[in-house]
Amino acid sequence: MSRNIRESDWKLFRELHPVAVNRFCESVLSEIARVASDATKTPHTRYGEIFTLVRERDRLLARAFDDKRRSTALLQLAIIHSHGLLTAEELARFSPEAREAITWRERI
C-alpha cells in the first residue's frame, strides 16, 4: 500500500479520525452494556467477559487510531473502514487513489 497521501485526503482523515474513534467507542460501550445486562450469567462471569472484551477492543483501537501520521494514514483508514466506521458518504469524499488504497482489502 502506498504511503503517500494527498494533502486533501490527509485533512479529511484528520477531520474524520475523531468521528470514527467515537463510533468505535460507542460500539464497544454497547457491547459492554449487553454483556453487563445478561442476567443469565453470574456477575463474576460478566466481569471476566467485559475485561476480555475491553482488552481485545483496546488492541483494535490502538491499531486503527494510535500514532496518527501521514505515513500510516492510508493503512489506518483501511482498518477503520474494515470495521465499518466510515459511512459511504465519508468514503466518497476521499480521492479515487485514497479510496483504492482504503478498500483494497475488500478485493482480496
Residue 2 has pLDDT above 70, yes or no: no
Q: Is residue 97 part of a domain?
A: yes
Q: Is residue 1 part of a domain?
A: no
Q: Is residue 93 part of a domain?
A: yes
Q: Is residue 88 part of a domain?
A: yes
Residue 58 has pLDDT above 80, yes or no: yes
C-beta atoms surrounding 41 within 10 Å:
13
Q: What was the pLDDT predicted at 4?
A: 81
Residue found under cell 474494515: 82
Q: Is residue 70 part of a domain?
A: yes
Can you say whether residue 40 is alpha, beta or left, with left for phi > 0 and alpha for psi between -120 and 50 degrees?
alpha
Residue 11 sits in which domain range? 7-107
Q: Is residue 16 part of a domain?
A: yes
**Each residue's pLDDT tens digit, 6-38:** 999 999 999 999 999 999 999 999 999 999 999
Domains identified in the chain, total number: 1
Q: Is residue 102 part of a domain?
A: yes
